[in-house]
Structure 1
Amino acid sequence: MMEPEKELRITLIGAGTIGLSFAAFHLSHLPASSHLTIYDTRPNAEQYIRDNLQNFYPKNSSPPSITDLQIATTLPDAVSNAHIIQESGPENLQIKQDLWAEVEKHAKKDALLWSSTSGIPASQQAQRMQNKTRLLVVHPYNPPHIMPLLELVPSPSTSEEVIQRTQDFWRARNRVPIHIHQETTGFVANRLAFALLREAIHLVDAGVVSVAELDGIVESSMGPRWAVAGPFKSYHAGGGPAGLEGFFKNIGETVQGCWSDAGNVNVGDGWEGKVFRQAREAYGTVDVAERDRITRRLLDVLEEEKGRKTLANPSASQ
């Protein structure tokens, strides 16, 4: 089981965008008498972290006190007493293999070891570890201090105990840890998102629609719909009493026609100039703070509605 909540020591390795986002989350959820340590190799790490961490909290709110935040200057000092060690370093296989081999030498034997990689499987990262059962990919959906999803992607060697302890940790903090049962390129959330992105690029490149128009279509249709129900639940509902089977019976030919006509675009095919130019012209520099503020409000509403549903039908949550 996880260490007692009265004392929890978490170490984050890497203070990039994802690392600091996780830091903001953990600082908001640490039990009393607990500590967060960050280790980063940049020369001005402490000043950089303290200057930038505040940007991950709403401007009109007071961020949690960071007086207990520790900035480690060596890897052994950072990991030796931690219950959880979470890395968000460069997407480089050699760096991650070297890192975990070194972490393993100094970490507690029962410490949880997590990688927030976007696509490097745990089975590859753990190649130089003595005990490969300890490592688990915990892939967030950016930004992790706001988005609930954590994809737990074990290697074939990762122990069930590590998976269960990790699920328990995140569920206790009202996050959504999903156990991905097989390692696959890009995991699941990115594969789904990139499939939509590929078709979006195809439609813009073919002149069917502009970048801004396509975004408007998504934001006023499947965007809000999928926030309430994913594609299977949505189309199961769309089939009426016959469910998903009825949906395909009704418009299966149209679905197949879209699949058959799907765009086959590749990075470097030549669409980049047109699509990138339209994105710059439509959006310039995106206001990420506005995006995060609206996302928080949306998630709050969804959580409130789910709570109402549970109160109205307690058996639905069992």
Structure 2
Amino acid sequence: MNDGAGNAYRSVAVVGAGVIGVSWTALFLGHGLRVTVNDPRPDVEDVVRAGLDEIAPTMRELGLPIAGAAARTEALRFEPRLAAAVAGADVVQENGPELLGVKQELWAVIEEAAPPHALLLSSSSGIPATAMAEHMREPERLLIGHSFNPPHLVPLVEIVPGRHTDPAVVERAGRFYRGLGKRPQVLTKEIPGFVANRLQAALFREAIYLVTEGVVTEQELDDIVTASIGMRWAAAGPFRTFHLGGGPGGLPAFFRHLGRALEEWWGQSGTPHLDGPTVALLNEQAQHFGGSVEELAAERDAAQIAVMRALGEIPGPAREEENERFR
């Protein structure tokens, strides 16, 4: 895979084989990259292969079949020693636990063992690159490449450079992710949780409040979101939506007519806590979504693929011309 700027990528080391790591593995295999998976758990190979089998139908729908690649030992390897796993990698995508000390230990080993040209990317959902790179000799090499779950399907990747990250590395990371059919967005400032998760957390806080207050059930709230703002935001984000909501006068008109009421609602927003009774209520209602986690995930993936296909976001046949540049 070539990014169009002279950088060739043939092998990726995936560090950490949880849900995110398996999803990245599927995407990399689908684009013809060799993948080495590193994880200390003894059953890692069984876990990863089972996860890939589960993802395979979705990848096929995306035009990125992985069944053959996952079965070939030259395409997918497992290496329990971290230094050995990253030694020949062109890219390292780290997906370790969200603990700063653990991240710093991982990157100390990776920096020493990975080739000088390797892209060093962390999937962290909230820990800044500056903090992770604090003990690195070359902190300019590290940045965040945070996907939205699951990364094999959702287009967004938040690229968040640290205070010392080389701008050239940021550019390389953007080209690499675009070559995978992703939609990278560079953040110009580090902030805990980055952008997408902060927005999600704000909405989820109010969702929990509405459920615990008995206004709606979890299923009813989900139905409201998917039939209104979820559908709307798939086509236009919140700012453009309210710009259009102001009519010919745009966002200025919206603020004149509705800004004060919106600000009053902010003051009335709920502040729930994830205490025992709240978590028990939420967990109990989650048992009534009408299927197992596997069944619901398949249903979600099919619906997301339909939306992406309608919006031209499919990173396969719908972007064949663009992907051709990276082969």
Tell me the residue number matched to 1:42.
41
Query: Structure 1: how far apart are the matches of 2:47 and 2:289?
Result: 32
Q: Structure 2: which 5+ residue stretches go unaligned? A: 315-327
Q: Rate the CA distance shift 1:298–1:207 in 2: closer, same or farther, 3 A.
A: same
SS at match of 1:109: coil
Q: Answer yes or no: is 1:281 the counterpart of 2:298.
A: no
Tell me the residue number matched to 1:23.
25
| CA-CA distance at 1:236 after TM superposition | 0.5
Q: Rate the CA distance shift 1:114–1:60 in 2: closer, same or farther, 3 A.
A: closer
Q: Answer yes or no: is 1:300 the counterpart of 2:309.
A: yes
Query: Structure 2: how far apart are the matches of 1:187 and 1:59?
Result: 28
Tell me the residue number matched to 2:268.
261
Q: Answer yes or no: is 1:141 the counterpart of 2:148.
A: yes
| CA-CA distance at 1:262 after TM superposition | 1.0
| CA offsets 1:103-124 (integer angstroms, 9 cap, x no match) | 1111111211011012111111
- Mapped contact 2:53–2:67 kept (Cα < 8 A): no
Tell me the residue number matched to 1:193.
200
Query: Structure 1: how far apart are the matches of 2:145 and 2:192?
Result: 14
Q: Answer yes or no: is 1:208 the counterpart of 2:215.
A: yes
Tell me the residue number matched to 1:220.
227
Q: Structure 1: which 5+ residue stretches go unaligned? A: 306-318
| CA-CA distance at 1:138 after TM superposition | 0.7
Q: Which runs of 4+ in 1 moved over 3 A?
A: 1-7, 59-62, 281-286
Q: Please say which of residues 10-19 and 267-276 is displaced more in the overlay.
A: 267-276
| CA offsets 1:175-204 (integer angstroms, 9 cap, x no match) | 111111111111110110111111111122
- Mapped contact 1:13–1:88 kept (Cα < 8 A): yes
Query: Structure 1: how far apart are the matches of 2:36 and 2:211?
Result: 45
SS at match of 1:37: strand
* 1:291 equivalent among 295, 300, 315: 300
SS at match of 1:150: strand
Q: Answer yes or no: is 1:63 the counterpart of 2:72.
A: no
Query: Structure 2: how far apart are the matches of 1:134 and 1:57?
Result: 33
Q: Rate the CA distance shift 1:304–1:48 in 2: closer, same or farther, 3 A.
A: closer
Query: Structure 1: how far apart are the matches of 2:178 and 2:110?
Result: 26
**TM-score, reference length from structure 1:** 0.88
| CA-CA distance at 1:270 after TM superposition | 4.7
Query: Structure 2: how far apart are the matches of 1:60 and 1:93?
Result: 32
| CA-CA distance at 1:253 after TM superposition | 2.6
Query: Structure 2: how far apart are the matches of 1:104 and 1:190?
Result: 28
Amino acid at match of 1:210: T
**TM-score, reference length from structure 2:** 0.86
Q: Rate the CA distance shift 1:245–1:146 in 2: closer, same or farther, 3 A.
A: same
Tell me the residue number matched to 2:181.
174
Q: Answer yes or no: is 1:154 the counterpart of 2:161.
A: yes
Q: Rate the CA distance shift 1:269–1:6 in 2: closer, same or farther, 3 A.
A: closer
The higher-RCO structure (CA 8 Å, 6+ apart) is 2
* Aligned CA-pair RMSD: 2.2
| CA-CA distance at 1:76 after TM superposition | 2.2
Query: Structure 2: how far apart are the matches of 1:23 and 1:128?
Result: 28
Amino acid at match of 2:304: T
| CA-CA distance at 1:282 after TM superposition | 4.2
SS at match of 1:271: helix
Tell me the residue number matched to 1:108.
115
Query: Structure 2: how far apart are the matches of 1:93 and 1:247?
Result: 42
User: Aligned residues, how many?
Assistant: 302
SS at match of 2:12: strand
- Mapped contact 1:27–1:64 kept (Cα < 8 A): no
Amino acid at match of 1:290: E
Tell me the residue number matched to 1:8.
10
- Mapped contact 1:85–1:111 kept (Cα < 8 A): yes
